[in-house]
A = this chain, B = another copy of it.
Amino acid sequence: MDVRTMCLGILSLGEASGYEIKKMLEGPLGSFFDASFGSIYPALAQLTDQGLLAMSEQAQDKRPDKKVYKITQKGRLALAEALLDKPSRDRVRSDFLASILFADLLAPRELAERLDERLAFHRAMLERLEKYRTDAAEWGTPELTAGMRFVTDYGVAIHRAALDFIEQNRHVIEAASMLRRGQAAD
Protein backbone atom coordinates (compact mmCIF):
# COMPACT_ATOMS: atom_id res chain seq x y z
CA MET A 1 0.00 0.00 0.00
CA ASP A 2 1.42 3.32 -1.06
CA VAL A 3 0.81 6.81 0.30
CA ARG A 4 -1.86 7.53 -2.30
CA THR A 5 -3.97 4.56 -1.25
CA MET A 6 -3.48 5.35 2.43
CA CYS A 7 -4.67 8.92 1.89
CA LEU A 8 -7.67 7.63 0.00
CA GLY A 9 -8.38 5.24 2.83
CA ILE A 10 -8.11 7.84 5.56
CA LEU A 11 -10.39 10.13 3.60
CA SER A 12 -12.90 7.30 3.30
CA LEU A 13 -13.32 7.68 7.08
CA GLY A 14 -14.07 11.39 6.82
CA GLU A 15 -12.79 14.55 5.15
CA ALA A 16 -9.49 16.03 6.14
CA SER A 17 -6.64 18.27 5.03
CA GLY A 18 -3.15 17.11 4.21
CA TYR A 19 -1.93 18.45 7.50
CA GLU A 20 -4.59 16.52 9.40
CA ILE A 21 -3.75 13.32 7.56
CA LYS A 22 -0.15 13.72 8.61
CA LYS A 23 -1.28 14.17 12.23
CA MET A 24 -3.32 10.96 12.01
CA LEU A 25 -0.26 9.14 10.76
CA GLU A 26 1.57 10.35 13.84
CA GLY A 27 -1.23 8.94 15.96
CA PRO A 28 -2.32 5.33 16.15
CA LEU A 29 -1.78 4.76 12.45
CA GLY A 30 1.85 5.63 12.84
CA SER A 31 2.40 2.19 14.34
CA PHE A 32 2.01 0.65 10.93
CA PHE A 33 2.18 3.44 8.39
CA ASP A 34 4.05 6.69 8.11
CA ALA A 35 4.47 9.34 5.45
CA SER A 36 6.01 12.78 5.21
CA PHE A 37 4.41 15.97 3.92
CA GLY A 38 6.62 15.59 0.90
CA SER A 39 4.67 12.50 -0.12
CA ILE A 40 1.22 13.39 1.22
CA TYR A 41 0.72 16.70 -0.58
CA PRO A 42 1.66 15.43 -4.04
CA ALA A 43 -0.49 12.33 -3.43
CA LEU A 44 -3.54 14.45 -2.64
CA ALA A 45 -2.95 16.64 -5.69
CA GLN A 46 -2.66 13.61 -7.93
CA LEU A 47 -5.75 11.92 -6.51
CA THR A 48 -7.70 15.14 -7.04
CA ASP A 49 -6.49 15.35 -10.63
CA GLN A 50 -7.76 11.83 -11.17
CA GLY A 51 -11.16 12.71 -9.76
CA LEU A 52 -10.82 10.40 -6.78
CA LEU A 53 -10.92 13.33 -4.36
CA ALA A 54 -12.77 16.64 -4.27
CA MET A 55 -11.01 19.62 -2.74
CA SER A 56 -12.53 22.69 -1.17
CA GLU A 57 -10.44 25.57 0.05
CA GLN A 58 -11.42 26.91 3.45
CA ALA A 59 -10.26 30.28 4.66
CA GLN A 60 -9.49 30.29 8.36
CA ASP A 61 -9.26 32.87 11.09
CA LYS A 62 -5.65 33.70 11.87
CA ARG A 63 -4.54 30.52 10.13
CA PRO A 64 -3.38 29.74 6.63
CA ASP A 65 -6.01 28.54 4.20
CA LYS A 66 -6.86 24.92 4.52
CA LYS A 67 -7.53 22.54 1.64
CA VAL A 68 -10.09 20.04 2.77
CA TYR A 69 -10.28 16.86 0.74
CA LYS A 70 -13.29 14.61 0.44
CA ILE A 71 -13.43 11.24 -1.24
CA THR A 72 -15.64 10.96 -4.33
CA GLN A 73 -17.71 7.98 -5.40
CA LYS A 74 -15.06 7.22 -7.99
CA GLY A 75 -12.51 7.40 -5.20
CA ARG A 76 -14.44 4.92 -3.08
CA LEU A 77 -14.55 2.47 -5.96
CA ALA A 78 -10.84 2.89 -6.61
CA LEU A 79 -10.11 2.29 -2.93
CA ALA A 80 -12.29 -0.80 -2.74
CA GLU A 81 -10.50 -2.14 -5.79
CA ALA A 82 -7.06 -1.36 -4.38
CA LEU A 83 -7.98 -3.17 -1.16
CA LEU A 84 -8.70 -6.33 -3.11
CA ASP A 85 -5.02 -6.68 -3.96
CA LYS A 86 -3.35 -9.27 -1.83
CA PRO A 87 -1.65 -7.35 0.97
CA SER A 88 2.13 -7.42 0.66
CA ARG A 89 4.08 -8.62 3.65
CA ASP A 90 4.99 -6.20 6.41
CA ARG A 91 8.06 -4.11 5.98
CA VAL A 92 9.76 -3.39 9.25
CA ARG A 93 13.06 -1.71 9.84
CA SER A 94 14.09 -1.28 13.43
CA ASP A 95 17.37 0.37 14.29
CA PHE A 96 16.73 -0.46 17.91
CA LEU A 97 16.61 -4.22 17.38
CA ALA A 98 19.55 -4.04 15.01
CA SER A 99 21.67 -2.28 17.60
CA ILE A 100 20.60 -4.85 20.19
CA LEU A 101 21.67 -7.63 17.85
CA PHE A 102 25.13 -6.10 17.78
CA ALA A 103 24.99 -5.17 21.46
CA ASP A 104 28.43 -6.70 21.95
CA LEU A 105 29.88 -3.63 20.30
CA LEU A 106 28.00 -1.25 22.54
CA ALA A 107 29.25 0.07 25.85
CA PRO A 108 27.02 -1.10 28.75
CA ARG A 109 26.04 2.48 29.46
CA GLU A 110 25.03 3.04 25.83
CA LEU A 111 23.03 -0.17 25.87
CA ALA A 112 21.22 0.76 29.07
CA GLU A 113 20.39 4.17 27.63
CA ARG A 114 18.90 2.63 24.50
CA LEU A 115 16.82 0.19 26.50
CA ASP A 116 15.55 2.98 28.73
CA GLU A 117 14.68 5.10 25.73
CA ARG A 118 12.87 2.20 24.18
CA LEU A 119 10.83 1.57 27.30
CA ALA A 120 9.92 5.26 27.41
CA PHE A 121 8.89 5.08 23.77
CA HIS A 122 6.57 2.13 24.34
CA ARG A 123 5.06 3.78 27.43
CA ALA A 124 4.43 6.98 25.49
CA MET A 125 2.79 5.05 22.67
CA LEU A 126 0.57 3.18 25.10
CA GLU A 127 -0.52 6.42 26.70
CA ARG A 128 -1.29 7.96 23.36
CA LEU A 129 -3.16 4.90 22.15
CA GLU A 130 -5.27 4.86 25.32
CA LYS A 131 -6.47 8.36 24.48
CA TYR A 132 -7.36 7.33 20.95
CA ARG A 133 -9.07 4.19 22.17
CA THR A 134 -11.57 6.05 24.28
CA ASP A 135 -11.92 9.33 22.45
CA ALA A 136 -13.27 9.36 18.94
CA ALA A 137 -12.58 13.10 18.68
CA GLU A 138 -8.86 12.31 18.62
CA TRP A 139 -9.43 10.67 15.26
CA GLY A 140 -11.35 13.66 13.98
CA THR A 141 -14.49 11.58 13.52
CA PRO A 142 -17.72 11.46 15.50
CA GLU A 143 -17.59 7.69 15.89
CA LEU A 144 -14.90 5.04 15.90
CA THR A 145 -15.26 2.37 13.26
CA ALA A 146 -14.61 -1.23 14.22
CA GLY A 147 -11.44 -1.03 12.14
CA MET A 148 -10.15 1.95 14.11
CA ARG A 149 -10.79 0.22 17.40
CA PHE A 150 -9.13 -2.95 16.20
CA VAL A 151 -5.91 -1.34 15.03
CA THR A 152 -5.71 0.80 18.16
CA ASP A 153 -6.17 -2.18 20.45
CA TYR A 154 -3.73 -4.15 18.34
CA GLY A 155 -1.19 -1.39 18.86
CA VAL A 156 -1.78 -1.51 22.60
CA ALA A 157 -1.27 -5.28 22.64
CA ILE A 158 1.99 -5.09 20.68
CA HIS A 159 3.50 -2.20 22.58
CA ARG A 160 2.59 -3.83 25.88
CA ALA A 161 4.17 -7.12 24.79
CA ALA A 162 7.34 -5.33 23.73
CA LEU A 163 7.45 -3.34 26.97
CA ASP A 164 7.00 -6.44 29.10
CA PHE A 165 9.56 -8.39 27.14
CA ILE A 166 12.25 -5.75 27.42
CA GLU A 167 11.60 -5.19 31.11
CA GLN A 168 11.84 -8.89 31.82
CA ASN A 169 14.82 -9.68 29.60
CA ARG A 170 17.06 -6.65 29.58
CA HIS A 171 19.15 -8.01 32.41
CA VAL A 172 20.25 -10.95 30.24
CA ILE A 173 21.69 -8.79 27.50
CA GLU A 174 23.04 -6.20 29.90
CA ALA A 175 24.86 -8.87 31.89
CA ALA A 176 26.41 -10.20 28.69
CA SER A 177 27.45 -6.70 27.70
CA MET A 178 29.20 -6.08 31.02
CA LEU A 179 30.87 -9.49 30.94
CA ARG A 180 32.27 -8.80 27.52
CA ARG A 181 33.61 -5.48 28.72
CA GLY A 182 35.43 -7.33 31.47
CA GLN A 183 36.93 -9.75 28.97
CA ALA A 184 37.99 -6.94 26.69
CA ALA A 185 39.86 -5.40 29.63
CA ASP A 186 41.77 -8.63 30.25
Contact = CB atoms under 8 A, between A and B. Distances in A.
A78 B96 CA distance: 18
A34 interface: yes
A149 interface: yes
Interface string A12-32: 110000000000000001011
A59 interface: no
B151 A162 contact: no
Greatest chain B CB density within 10 A among A88, A103, A148 is at: A103
20 contacts: A32-B92, A32-B93, A33-B94, A34-B93, A89-B121, A91-B92, A91-B94, A92-B92, A92-B93, A97-B154, A100-B150, A101-B148, A103-B146, A103-B150, A104-B147, A146-B175, A147-B173, A149-B172, A150-B172, A154-B165
A158 interface: yes
A104 B12 CA distance: 10
A80 interface: yes
A159 to B, nearest CB: 9
Contact of A146 (B12, B29, B34, B173): B173
B9 A145 contact: no
A46 interface: no
A110 B87 CA distance: 11
A68 interface: no
Most buried by B among A13, A94, A153: A94
